[in-house]
Amino acid sequence: MPTQTAKSGLPLTRRCSWLQDNSTSYDLVANNGCRPSPLHSVFPTSPAVVSSVQDLFEFICSGPLINKLNLTPETIANSIDRWLECGRYVCRLFQLNEFNLTIPQRARVYHYYIPVFIWCEDQIEQHRVIFKEGEDVPPLVIGFSAPQGCGKTTLVFALDYLFRASGRKSATISIDDFYLTAEDQAKLREQNPGNALLELRGNAGSHDLPFSVETLTALTQMTKEGMKMKLPRYNKSAYGGRGDRADPSTWPEVEGPLSVVLFEGWMLGFKPVPTEVVRAVDPQLEVVNKYLEAYYDAWDKFIKSWIVIKIKEPSCVYQWRLQAEIAMREEGKVGMSDDEVMDFVSRYLPAYKAYLPTLYSEGPNGSDPEHLLVVDIDEERNPILAN
């Protein structure tokens, strides 16, 4: 299998440290070296493998998201075949040996990606029962609000693969895909001279909101066989890194009927805060706060279920971005210097400081607590128990 790449173009094996970890492995192979297939079929006859699978079952039950998903050991035991099947899919995607996972690898697979996938599947089923038999069922739009560099793109990549492997048609979209064209970015800079937060793409105001509405509306109408549409993509390397919308001929195509749309972004769900709050953080943020008022109708109102990846300190973003740039440089690709990374991240930190507290205390703009999953992660991007 060729090396999988994310939307950034970086091989996932370079971007994900948990794929390369050399710590103690977690071996599901029986002592005689035989690889059972399918795994659950050996339960009655192979005590060695039964013991290994029992260890995996206990490991799954110890995950930090289990209580949030209202899962019990009994429900996990009853669906263990599904967990194992999903585990095989994820390992295949990331070219991992499912019978010889390191501790970080099994944690990422069985404590993070699969529990989130199970939650998403449950949200889709709850969404479908709202509609009467014979009615067109629009895809469920799930929003992923998560800071840059925390692994949201890789999470969405894995979920998209799991949905497709499970027979559901899905589409992935990012707020990055809705950035203004290079020409309109230049106009934005001219309209806001001296405002470092709007000099480059990123903050509220630097997105083509009518284009967002057009795209998300079209996606929610993908309810029938034979329907096709192209998903917009953005070329961040164009114009010396200032970026521009990618040529439509390069956009990927999806076919209906879609079951789910996975919509991710660092500022999804942010809502405007009082002017005195943004002024205290950074006076330049005041115009950004004003632009943010239009984002609910352009993005958030389309989202019916939410996943919020929660971090302790926004300063983590700098470290994660620095790691990504170092990895690019080690591969011989053009990457930002440490000073350039600091400058880049500094343009986002005011928004994090102003909007993350409200996001974490109240939930995303317009969200329903019954359809919200908050995943606390540590500096290694692993889920942890909430304080």
pLDDT tens sequence across 62-71 = 999 999 999 9
Give the predicted TM-score (pTM) of the model. 0.87
**% of the chain with per-residue pLDDT over 90:** 71
DSSP lists the bridge partners of residue 253 as 230
Q: How many CB atoms lie within 10 A of CB 245?
A: 21
Tens of pLDDT, residue by residue over 85-139, are 999 999 999 999 988 899 999 999 999 999 999 999 999 999 999 999 989 999 9
pLDDT at 26: 40
Q: What is the mean pLDDT of the chain?
A: 87
pLDDT at 29: 36
pLDDT at 334 over 70: no
Tens of pLDDT, residue by residue over 72-81, are 999 999 999 9
Domain ranges across the chain:
47-111, 134-377
Label residue 38 by pLDDT band (50, 70, 90). very low
Q: Are the beta carbons of 136 and 224 closer than 8 angstroms?
A: yes
pLDDT at 324: 77
pLDDT at 21 over 60: no
CATH number of 134-377: 3.40.50.300
pLDDT at 31 over 60: no
* DSSP tally for the chain: helices H, then strands E: 15, 11
Task: Report which residue type is found at 360.
Answer: Y
How far apart are alpha carbons 207 and 202 in whole angstroms? 8
